[in-house]
Amino acid sequence: MKWWSKKSLNKLNRTLHRDLGYLFIGLTVIYAFSGIALVLKQYNIDIEYSEETIKNEFSPNLSKDEFKLDWSKQDELPRLTRVKIDNHSNYRLLVKGGEGVYNITTGEVKLSIFKTNKLIKFANDIHYNIGKRFTWLAILYCCMLIFFAISGAIIVKGKKGFKRRGVWFALIGIGIPVIYYFIV
């Protein structure tokens, strides 16, 4: 018996399709999860960040330098990176991880600190390929999707196989994004 007979190739195809499919379940879930997060972000449903508001009181009528000096004496506040004069009654504050406003006349400070959801940041880094760290992983994943499409098409034989029934579903699968592209 030849190692490349139709029966042995069919068995090899099924085995590879099954085992590699199990291997790539995790990556598929991560890509799907990050894709959903990216779609929600486009509709201003931002699940990547949470906002924390901090209020504090400083002396009123401080100059920029006096304000910076007073800020540096308070350990519980985030690091101040920049102070801009917003208008005559406010300083705009840029702090590590957020931003805020100092009201010069009242001395009130309001800060908004943004905290990143680590799981979503990880998934988006992979999806967007930020820093080009995941280029080879993305190429491998694309090649595996092509393999799964082709091997899955030839696994089922007979009346419900690719040649009779599957080709129509494949054409519909190609047609949906093409039609959607031209309509929307």
Q: Which tens digits make up the pLDDT trace of 31-46?
A: 888 888 777 766 665 5
CB-CB neighbours of 124 under 10 Å = 20
Query: Does residue 73 lie in a domain region?
Result: yes
Judge if 123 and 98 occupy the same domain.
no
pLDDT digits (tens, 9 = 90+) for 75-130: 888 899 999 988 878 999 999 888 889 999 898 998 888 777 777 777 777 777 87
Q: How many CB atoms lie within 10 A of CB 80?
A: 16
Examine the domain organization and report whether 93 and 127 are in the same domain. no
- Domain-embedded: residue 147: yes
pTM over 0.75: no
Same domain, 28 and 55: no
Are residues 35 and 55 located together in one domain of the fold?
Answer: no
Residues 6+ away with beta carbon under 8 Å from 32:
none
Do 93 and 53 fall within a single domain?
yes
Residues 60 and 40 in one domain: no
